[in-house]
Amino acid sequence: MDERSAELTDLQKAYRDDPENRPAALNLAQRYCDLGWFNEAIELYQAAFERSPDDAMILLEYGNTAFKKGDYTSAVRLFTRLTERHPDRIEGWNNLGIALTKCNNHENAREAFHRVLEIEPENSGALLNMGNYYFGKQEYGKARTYFERACAVRADFPDAWFNVGNACIELKCYEDARTAFEKALRYRREFPSALKNLGWVYEHDGRLAEAQQCYSEAILINKADANLYVNFGNVQVRLKKYDEAKKYFLKAVRLSPNNLHGWLGLRGYALAKGDVETFMRATLAVLPRLSDEMLAQSIAVLYDLHQIDKADELLEQADRLGRGGDLLDLQRLLLYKRQEKHPEKTKVIADRISGLTDPPDAIHRGLARYYLLTKEYAWVIACIERMKDRDATSYGLLWRAMLEQGKTVEVKREIREYIAVHPESFDTYFLLADIEAKRGNVKRAETLLVHALDHGFNDMEEIHANSVLHDIFESMTGKQLIADA
Q: State the pLDDT confidence band at 209, using cuts at 50, 70 and 90.
A: very high
**Pick from 18, 40, 20: nearest CA to 29:** 40
Looking at 16-25, 48-57, 86-95, 181-190, which range is the least confident one?
16-25
Long-range (24+ apart) CB contacts under 8 A made by 28-32 are: 29/61, 29/65, 30/61, 31/7
Percent of the chain beyond pLDDT 90? Answer: 85
**Could you tell me the pTM of the whole model?**
0.76
Report the mean per-residue pLDDT for the chain. 93
Residue 176 has pLDDT above 80, yes or no: yes
Cα dist from 420 to 40, 126, 390, 414, 448, whole Å: 76, 57, 17, 10, 15
Averaged pLDDT for residues 43-64? 94
Q: Over the stretch 127-145, which tens digit does the pLDDT of each residue have?
A: 999 999 999 999 999 999 9
Q: What is the pLDDT of residue 458?
A: 83
Residue 4 has pLDDT above 90, yes or no: no
Q: What is the pLDDT of residue 387?
A: 96
Q: What is the pLDDT of residue 476?
A: 78
Averaged pLDDT for residues 111-134? 96
Q: Over the stretch 302-335, which tens digit does the pLDDT of each residue have?
A: 998 889 999 999 999 999 999 999 999 999 999 9
Q: What is the distance between the alpha carbons of residues 460 and 430, in angstroms, rounded to a whole number?
A: 11
Q: What is the distance between the alpha carbons of residues 97 and 374, in angstroms, rounded to a whole number?
A: 62
Q: What is the pLDDT of residue 481?
A: 38
Averaged pLDDT for residues 426-430? 93
Q: Over the stretch 230-263, which tens digit does the pLDDT of each residue have?
A: 999 999 999 999 999 999 999 999 999 988 999 9
Residue 149 has pLDDT above 80, yes or no: yes
φ/ψ region of 325 (left if φ > 0, alpha if ψ in -120 to 50, else beta) reads left
Which residues make Cβ contacts (< 8 Å) with residue 411, sequence separation at least 6? 399, 402, 403, 431, 435
Residue 37 has pLDDT above 70, yes or no: yes
Residue 347 has pLDDT above 90, yes or no: yes
Residue 174 has pLDDT above 60, yes or no: yes
Percent of the chain beyond pLDDT 70? Answer: 97
Q: Over the stretch 359-411, which tens digit does the pLDDT of each residue have?
A: 999 999 999 999 999 999 999 999 999 999 999 999 999 999 999 999 999 99
Q: State the pLDDT confidence band at 17, using cuts at 50, 70 and 90.
A: confident
Show the 3-state SS of the chain: CCHHHHHHHHHHHHHHHCCCCHHHHHHHHHHHHHHCCHHHHHHHHHHHHHHCCCCHHHHHHHHHHHHHHCCHHHHHHHHHHHHHHCCCCHHHHHHHHHHHHHCCCHHHHHHHHHHHHHHCCCCHHHHHHHHHHHHHCCCHHHHHHHHHHHHHHCCCCHHHHHHHHHHHHHCCCHHHHHHHHHHHHHHCCCCHHHHHHHHHHHHHCCCHHHHHHHHHHHHHHCCCCHHHHHHHHHHHHHCCCHHHHHHHHHHHHHHCCCCHHHHHHHHHHHHHHCCHHHHHHHHHHHHHHCCHHHHHHHHHHHHHCCCHHHHHHHHHHHHHCCCCCHHHHHHHHHHHHHHCCCHHHHHHHHHHHHCCCCCCHHHHHHHHHHHHHCCCHHHHHHHHHCCCCCCHHHHHHHHHHHHHCCCHHHHHHHHHHHHHHCCCCHHHHHHHHHHHHHCCCHHHHHHHHHHHHHCCCCCHHHHHHCHHHHHHHHHHHHHHHHHHC
Residue 484 has pLDDT above 50, yes or no: no
